[in-house]
Structure 1
């Protein structure tokens, strides 16, 4: 009801990495970027390097010679245990909204398979090698979406970062010409299977929010709301998409006190959730970047207080 702006009773909450019993939404990863006992390698074939408890970075790119990109193959759909986490969540929490997460997707996956800078160079020159890379990544995701449709899932979660602190990583025109049609195809496929589209992006992506809405994003996870003018976001896009927002992990969520955190959830509700719905709260345990347990709990508490009357 929150997604459809159909007069929900309260603001639902997704808690991303723990406390699933308190979350209205649960997920299972179907693209396996974090395999092994130490979650240190991706099914695509690259390994993660970490200096702390964050996700890390690939140790080295899988694609070292773009002239050999025709040799790049997607992972096998038959990976053992691919849907085990999803099915376990479905069994454990049968009453909850269930998402199949691609873990990392699209452009983000591309920049982990190859050097980030080289991907941007090939993007600017519109090379055939880049087209090959895009096709391999996006086609594999579409295959996963088709497989997931057999498990009675409510949504597919795309996690694909397009923003820096100040703007898009590429020009809006490049994005619209090269990536928008591919996303449209993916989102159409999700909707054809009777599921919703959840799209996450870090950074400032304001110039293409209207494009995402146009091509079918149902839930837009704005991961850094501190980069936006929230009242303007509500005026421009409220009632057109369901926003999913945390208390900012760059500002209030880390450095604020519990009262400020709860006030921030009310601020999001006031501007984004007043369209007969249209807001989902987001909380994530983030001690790895300085979040205290007290602030994490305050974020959950703040969102859970938000009810419609």
Structure 2
């Protein structure tokens, strides 16, 4: 087993590692910045990432330049190099399924993703990724305002919608979980700057049961679980731990008290993130980044349970030098 994968597994097992494992995800513009800085062709190899994530995501390019995803949601292309698109057309404009049909699993595409992960031959910690997971998938189909209203006044439809999304995801998991990769990565934003978007009661009513079932299926195959949610979801940490969550991303220092969450949840959760893309990395100097990285490692690295990373996919406004500075600080940290 390569040291990169072993470091991640040791971190998840809350064992102290020689170096903190790190991982950087980049938008296309950030990739080009790294390649120019380093004079290389493979930005991710240059950054020496410890993890490899492959997404079950396949969009079809439309004539007007927009893209349609597997669920029939139409997205406008991002013009600023960001990693979050804007929805141009919601398939479920009314609170009924009507003629809408959920997509069949693209088994050939899913198998190709697994092939890609298996071709890594154990060098990295490998993750099969379900993007726009559950709550995100519901609002991508209905619109954020509509799904929030649905949760409050249209219980029957909301349960029906989440049941259909869950059935799709369970079938996808059945398709891939016997393949050789390390974890399933679920992307599903629940948080805002202060607290959760839908509140704890709605989360427990509509979101938690489906994730509990998906987590159980993943764990039954001996794989780890990584959950990405932006924002403040600390109120859900105890329940997520009980459900079997291994790794939580992303850990935004402008939101969380890092010392507190490390002290209270660090024996059970591995935290992945910690260096702010919102308020720090685009504006800091490389020396300031090194200092900040050391500060975060002082808090988060002890006894494992930490993966160093920017708090979100790096965008082109973050100087490439700052990403390299994080790695240099990690390598020199003792």
Normalising by structure 2, report the TM-score. Answer: 0.84
- Structure 1 unaligned regions, length at least 5: none
**2:86 aligns to what?**
57
State the Cα distance separating 1:255 from its structure 2 match: 1.2
Q: Distance in 2 between matches of 1:266 and 1:243?
A: 16
Matched-pair contact (CA < 8 Å) for 2:195–2:232 = yes
Q: Tell me, in whole angstroms, the C-alpha distance in 2 between the residues paired with 1:160 and 1:300.
A: 27
Does the CA contact (< 8 Å) of 1:73 and 1:136 recur in 2?
no
Counterpart for residue 281 of structure 1: 308
Measured against aligned partners, the alpha-carbon deviations of 1:189-247 in whole angstroms (never above 9, x if no partner) come to 11101110000011111211222112111000024232111111112211111000141
Alignment of 1:18-97 (within 5 A): 19-21=43-45, 22-30=48-56, 32=57, 34-36=59-61, 40-49=67-76, 50-54=78-82, 55-67=84-96, 69=97, 71-78=99-106, 80-92=108-120, 94-97=122-125
Query: Cα deviation per residue 1:11-58 (whole Å; 9 max; x = unaligned)?
Result: 11122236332111101112x254449782211111111343222111
2:209 corresponding residue in structure 1: 181
Deviation digits for residues 136-187 of structure 1, max 9, x if unmatched?
Answer: 1122112212211122110000011011112211121221232222211111
Number of equivalenced pairs = 303
Q: Distance in 2 between matches of 1:122 and 1:46?
A: 19
Question: How big is the shift at 1:303?
Answer: 3.4
1:292 equivalent in structure 2: 319
- Aligned partners of 1:28 and 1:101 also within 8 Å: yes
2:15 corresponds to 1:6: yes
Structure 1 CA distance for aligned equivalents of residues 119 and 270 of structure 2: 27
SS in structure 2 at match of 1:243: strand
Unaligned regions of 5+ residues in structure 2, if any?
Answer: 1-9, 32-42
CA distance in 2, matches of 1:82, 1:292: 34
Give SS of 1:296's match.
helix
The change in CA–CA distance for 1:73 and 1:225 in structure 2 (over 3 A counts) is farther
Q: Give 1:306 shift.
A: 4.2
8 Å contact kept, 1:200–1:223: no
Contact 1:15–1:282, Cα closer than 8 Å, also in 2: yes
The residue number in structure 1 matching 2:249 is 221
Give, in whole Å, the separation in 2 of the partners of 1:163 and 1:33: 26
- After superposing the two structures, state which structure 1 stretch, 46-55 or 130-139, moved more: 46-55
* Residues in 2 aligned to 1:75 and 1:264: alpha-carbon distance in whole angstroms: 45
What secondary structure sits across from 2:110 in the alignment? coil
State the Cα deviation string for residues 246-289 of structure 1 (Å, max 9, x = none): 41011121212212222222222222221x2100112466334x
Counterpart of 1:254 in structure 2 is 282
Show the counterpart of 1:238. Answer: 266
Deviations 1:88-130 (A, max 9, x none): 2431454211100112211011111111101001111252111
**Corresponding position of 2:173:** 145
Moved more, 52-61 or 194-203: 52-61
Contact kept in structure 1, 2:117 and 2:181, CA below 8 Å: no
